A = this chain, B = another copy of it.
């Protein structure tokens, strides 16, 4: 097996834990991240938490202001679109490279993902589809052999994950994105770099258009006070 994801695991388990808590929505945007709280929550020393926050700040997931602490960074829609535009460029590159370097076993794996995605959409299994979606993008990066590009995209994905998640939950969205994903898979399996790049770009372009369509309601709707408290 290709093992677990290697890029974002560098500086200890605390970083991963906090990152997971953020991307899973356990901490909402603009929520304060007090060092002592996290220290107790994750059973780690304050220094470890401090380092983790530093790294997450560098990663763009949290915002740190001197003497005022860290809070979950709220990525505005415009920036999410910027992120997707960069991803469009880089993932286009990766798709092309993947089409050049793909092996037979990888083609088989992609075909498996393809079937799974079609089945998930057919049966309305949104979460399963989202999971396969993540896996497809990740495996495509690995197949491209472009570690640098993979790291860049991984980081960008982390920042915009909330927007993408919200988008994936829109009813009818899977039926739109499914053919795009299938086109990417088919192009890679056909070892057609140009088609793969074009398919990847079209897919992310579609995501951008869809994101633009989701009206971002102004301030006043987000209430951080959820459940436990």
Please list the residues of chain A having a beta carbon within 8 angstroms of any beta carbon in chain B. 10-11, 51, 54-55, 57-59, 64, 79, 82-83, 85-86, 88-90, 92-93, 146-149, 152, 156
Contacts and interface: CB of A to CB of B under 8 A. Distances in A.
Contacts of A152: 86, 152, 156
A79 B156 contact: no
A86 B54 contact: no
B90 A86 contact: yes
Integer count of this chain's copies in the complex:
2
Contacts of A57: 10-11
A96 to B, nearest CB: 10
Contact of A79 (B10, B51, B83, B147): B147
Nearest to A82: B148
A146 B86 contact: yes
A211 to B, nearest CB: 14
A82 B51 contact: no
Contacts of A51: 51, 54
Which of A59, A64, A79, A148 neighbours the largest number of chain B CB atoms within 10 Å of its CB? A148
A190 to B, nearest CB: 22
A89 B79 CA distance: 19
Nearest to A11: B54
Nearest to A52: B54
17 contacts: A10-B58, A11-B54, A51-B54, A55-B55, A58-B59, A79-B148, A82-B147, A83-B148, A85-B93, A85-B146, A85-B149, A86-B93, A86-B148, A88-B93, A89-B90, A90-B90, A148-B156
Contacts of A10: 57-58, 64
Contacts of A86: 90, 93, 146, 148-149, 152
